[in-house]
Structures are given as C-alpha cells and as structure tokens.
Amino acid sequence: MPEIELTAGTIAYEDTGGPGPVVVLLHGLAHDATVWRKVIAALAPGHRVLAPTLPYGSHRTPMKPEVALSPDSVIDLIAEFLDRLDLTDVTLVESDCGRAQTVAVRHPERLTRLVLVSCEAFDNYPPGAPGKMIDLACRVPGGISLMVRVLGLKALRRFPVGLGALTKRPVPDEIAEAWLRPLRTDPAIRHDFRRYCLAVRRDELLRAAEGLRKFDRPALVVWAVDDLMMPREHGRRLAELLPQGRLVEIEDSRTLISEDQPERLVDALRAFVAGAPATA
C-alpha cells in the first residue's frame, strides 16, 4: 500500500490507478480504508479509486505530535492529499464521518461531484450510542483502552454500542480486529484518537450545511433506511439543500452500506459518476 507524507503526518492509501474517472472514498472513526474493499474491487475496472486511511484510530503511523490534530486539520489533510496527487475532477465520497461536507465547502476546486453516504450531519454529533461511548471514553483517563478492550470481545461486537449499530451483518473478524489493533497496541495512536475527538466543534456540520447550499455541482445522498445512528430525515434534508442534490435510500442496511449492501451502493455510484439519473 503506498504512503504519502503530508503536513500532519504520513498516511497510507489504496490507489487502483488507471485512466477512468477519479473517485476518492473517505471512511469514519475506528475503521480504515478496508471498509471500502468491496466497493473498490467493483469500481476499479472503470475508475481510478483512491481510499486514504485517515487518522481516526485505525491508522498505523501516528501523526506528527507538533501538528494539531482535529477535524479542521483532517479537512486540510484531505485537501492536501488531493493536491499532492494532483487529483482533478474528483468524485468525493464520505461514509459515517462528515468531513467531506466541509471539504466541499472550503476546497471545491478539485471536486466535480459529491457523495454523502449515511454520515454525520447537522447537529448529529456524537451520533448514536457508539458516538456517545467514544466521546465519554476520550474524556475519562484510561477510557479509550477500556473501550477498545470491550469492543475487541467478539461476543459483544454485535451489540448496539459496537459494530451492531453500524452494520446489520457481521464484519469479518479479521477486518474488525485490524480496525481495533492500532488503538489496542499503540499509545501514540490512542493519543491521536483522543486529541482528534476532543477537538470536534459541535457547530462544524451546521456551518457546512449552510455552505453546501452553494455547492452547485452534482451531489448524491445515499442513506440507509435502517440506520440507527444517522437519522433518515437527515438524508432528505441534505439532498434538498444541495442545489443539484439527489437522494437514494437503500433498504436492509445500517450506516456502513459498503458492508451491508455494497452491490447496491456500487450501482448508485457507478450510475452517478456516469451521469445517469440515480434510482431510489
């Protein structure tokens, strides 16, 4: 997997290469680019697909301690990633976390399309039981270590405070364990995770939503009908405020549609990038 050194630190990323339309996939907290593995495999034949592993707790290389780590710095990191790799006409896709919304508002110059997949929006932070557990763990001494030990227990993985809130189907053990290993084994990664989470501004996504009203480029909102963390009404609201927004709702899925319904997500992405009307 290639790596690139950015201002905040070194990040690894998937890159399928090829001459097709550029699609950049962004993941959420406590998982990495492998959450997109099925989507990447399906899109790769006709697209150049990139998926960076962001410093959200499942990254393997700690960020530079002298550089502030916050949602704002991750937004800058994503923009720098696009710039350093000279990616243009990008379809930027986010799942779970909401940073792509602010990237689209602050750094629209390299984007040609935006896709929001069951993600934090408006005032929904921290989202759901897992979000509240993470927020609490970051504020209590030793809380992150305890949280990771609990989430690492296979018997508890499907509970609503764990992956059970994010997916309707079990994530393969080897994938889930790889997501948790950096937090479990590396104090520097736990420190990155804590300082990122504690730096969240609760009004960021409300401000981003206002900015999205001026994002006059094709935008697709894909929402899980059975989502336990991201209110279904938020998908509709996002699609309505985006000037060229369209909504696709996917049944039989929770937040991580790339895990529960990857084929239907790929169909929606492929049609959207090709310019065809999205089908609800």
pTM: 0.94
pLDDT for position 159: 64
Residue 156 scores a pLDDT above 70: no
Question: How far is the C-alpha of 20 from the C-alpha of 182, rounded, in Å?
Answer: 33
Indicate the pLDDT class of residue 280, thresholds 50, 70 and 90.
Answer: very low
What is the average pLDDT across 14-19?
A: 94
Strands in 3-5's sheet, in edge-to-edge order, are: 3-5, 10-15, 48-52, 22-26, 90-96, 111-119, 219-224, 245-250
Residue 200 has, within 13 A of its CA and on its CB side, a CA count of 24
C-beta atoms surrounding 66 within 10 Å: 5
Cis peptide before 21 (omega within 30 of 0): no
Residue 268 scores a pLDDT above 70: yes
pLDDT for position 158: 67
pLDDT for position 111: 97
What is the average pLDDT across 73-82?
A: 97
pLDDT for position 161: 64
Token pair of 149 as six digits: 């030990």
Residue 128 scores a pLDDT above 90: no
Query: Nearest-CA neighbor of 144 among 71, 197, 99?
Result: 197
Residue 154 scores a pLDDT above 60: yes
**φ/ψ (deg, to 5) at 11:** -125, 150
Question: How far is the C-alpha of 24 from the C-alpha of 257, rounded, in Å?
Answer: 16
